[in-house]
Structure 1
């Protein structure tokens, strides 16, 4: 996981130094503002307990593999009040496994269970200094960065160890219709543990830019650019430019997105790939119907459109069978996902079902189908119950996989 390193220790020490004047008690304007900042500070505690069961068919006659995980995430969040528009944020997470019959991808694991990427550990999830006015917000340090629907830049908050970023961000509200958002990130703190077979950190020079334009109340347009130059994972370096449109036509709602991507930095592959997504939704009484097509294109099978910082669990099925899309060692043929979702609410229980039909973009290889089910219920104001089920049926790719999650979350 993301253990406390020198920079974080310095950040905490700086916070302590800044807070030293809090102890001074007189009637000066300075101390009055400090006292107000202390009074406006907020402390939050949250817990999320989750059972995850996995059942996978063996490949090429091998035995089936399973996993059983019961993990608890505990989170402590501190946000100071503003002092002359400045504030400090700190967030610490702990993940504990009550039942750990699963492969968390750590180097110490030597079993044969299915993968559940919820390793145990304690980490600093956020530690930042922030300047905030009505028009401008500046954030420096470890922070959460989420863009649009998290298809390109996200936090992977579904996993117990969230993905956050080390860097600098400026958000500027030009006026009521135009907003600008730019981040320079030098490190991504991923969902893996420090002692992991996967890199728990991805360092480099990463530029995240997003410009939003509110055409009117019913229509918005966003332009985005993601320039990623990795220090070590050179095959992931890329430049991505695209547009996102969201429109409300009364009974019909539309989401459209398109982007182009090419190699960058020291990427050993030279490629160009495209992305597009089209969704249309409507309501029939208490039922919402949504249909969509998402394509992560391939450049003749040598590389595919990739989104290394996305919240991948939200896309291409909850079974997470396509996390390697775009990798030079994974789904270099790309993926086309045709999906239909039905949503409704029954006795305050939110229900949703999604069907995915998946094929490769290059060669149109049948990649299987998946059914995802969700039931969510909130009770006693601060308690949330979630039940999810994913059933992936392989065809010419991978293996049949079934996953069940039961989750209870609360916050104070």
Structure 2
């Protein structure tokens, strides 16, 4: 895609989400005022990381987000969203990304300082379609393949064109063409830059079954910046509901090469059983990111990776031997505090390597417009020395004004 489109996205303003107000403005100028809104979000977070073989890191950062959303004019709307990430103690003493020349030998905390346009798109909406052009947030299904990495202070967004069509009853059809991925490491990062690409995203969901929802998808990624992350993924997902106390998720996908020298194919499988019992939500799960004979591991480069395979983020890139994740999540609410306890056991898909295990714990409570969250992750290495013992702790305040 030509540079003019990328420049348009950088120059335009962005939005959290576009929704059509009840009354459309009579002129474009009126649309900038009628039905418009301004929102401010402040997220302050302390993160501490201890990883064997590296110096401990800690960071106290604040993300300030300013959002503007216009009203509509003949179905068209305009919105704006800006993010600023600042280290509050005035000194960055951690590595903000892999390969960061600052603070060598310290553990990575992936929150670089910077000010950016987080999203930038014009939208058109009618009864059946929502169309967006520009820089935008895209989240599909559970974010396992296409997500926004919302946990990090600098969010992942996409420069592209997207359309969501709901003209067929109980059916949602999403198509997106992506020419640039604005990654969490910042726009001006020379070592971990944005990913320029020529990619097509298709996701079709049908919720007309009484027993659940069926989704089919094709994610055709052609990555110019990192060709090794190119690949075609085609899959199917079933979200089943048996009754009020039991639901389940089944998913299968196949990934093959696209735009790289070597050919590969690998499988993805997911099986989850979800129970609601006496105030507890319990999930038993098995996830496989398969291997092609030990030479390639199933990749999900556009996923919200922090939400999967443990919060210590040891497997942001799938090992060539693949990865099996057997896990249990237990959640409950006590005195308004939401608790979640998780355990993961990791093993290689090819061979018998033990890839370690992890325990995660979080507690979160809302106080009016403020959400306080504490999280802890403890990863213990297995047979592979590259995946070293790691503990992480977060304390976060999220304010909405």
Both structures adopt the same fold (TM-score exceeding 0.5): yes
Match of 1:139 in 2: 132
Q: What number of residue pairs does the alignment pair up?
A: 383
Structure 2, unaligned runs of 5 or more: 14-23
Q: Which residue number corresponds to residue 144 of structure 2?
A: 151
Deviant stretches of 4+, over 6 Å: 12-15
> Is 1:357 matched with 2:349?
no
User: CA distance change for structure 1 residues 376 and 6 in 2, over 3 Å: closer, same or farther?
Assistant: same
The answer to whether 1:260 aligns with 2:254 is yes
1:13 and 1:254 map into 2 onto residues whose CA distance is 44
Q: Is the 8 A contact 2:94 2:103 kept in 1?
A: no
Moved more, 275-284 or 104-113: 104-113
Structure 1 segment 50-129 matched on structure 2, within 5 A: 50-58=45-53, 64-99=54-89, 100-105=92-97, 107-129=100-122
The answer to whether 1:49 aligns with 2:50 is no
Q: Closer, same or farther in 2 for the Cα pair 1:119/1:145, shift >3 Å?
A: same
Distance 1:14 1:157 in 2: 21
Deviations 1:182-210 (A, max 9, x none): 00000000011345464321011111110
RMSD (Å) for aligned C-alpha atoms: 1.9
Partner of 1:385 in structure 2? Answer: 372
Q: How far apart, in 2, do the equivalents of 1:195 and 1:127 lie?
A: 17
On the 8 A contact 2:25/2:31 being kept in 1, the answer is no
Question: CA offset at residue 311 of structure 1?
Answer: 0.4
Quick one: distance in 1 between partners of 2:330 and 2:169? Answer: 34
**1:295-334 residue pairs with structure 2 within 5 A?**
295-325=288-318, 331-334=319-322
Q: Does 2:194 align with 1:207? A: no
Unaligned runs of 5+ in 1: 16-28, 59-63, 326-330
Q: Cα gap change, 1:33/1:321 in structure 2, threshold over 3 Å: closer, same or farther?
A: closer
Distance in 2 between the 1:39 and 1:9 partners?
Answer: 28
Is 1:186 the equivalent of 2:176? no
Q: Which residue of 2 aligns with 1:18?
A: none
Answer whether contact 1:37 1:83 (CA < 8 A) is retained: no
Q: CA deviation at 1:364?
A: 2.8
Give the distance between the partners of 1:294 and 1:403, measured in 2 at CA.
23
Contact 2:290–2:297 (CA<8 Å) still a contact in 1? yes
Taking the aligned partners of 1:163 and 1:116, their CA distance within structure 2 comes to 16
- In the superposition, the TM-score normalised over structure 1's length comes to 0.89
The verdict on how the C-alpha distance between 1:409 and 1:14 changes in structure 2, with shifts beyond 3 A counting, is closer
Distance 1:283 1:107, change over 3 A: closer
1:56, distance to aligned residue in structure 2 (A): 1.3
Counterpart Cα distance in 1 of 2:395 and 2:25: 50
Does the residue aligned with 1:81 lie in a helix, a strand or coil?
strand
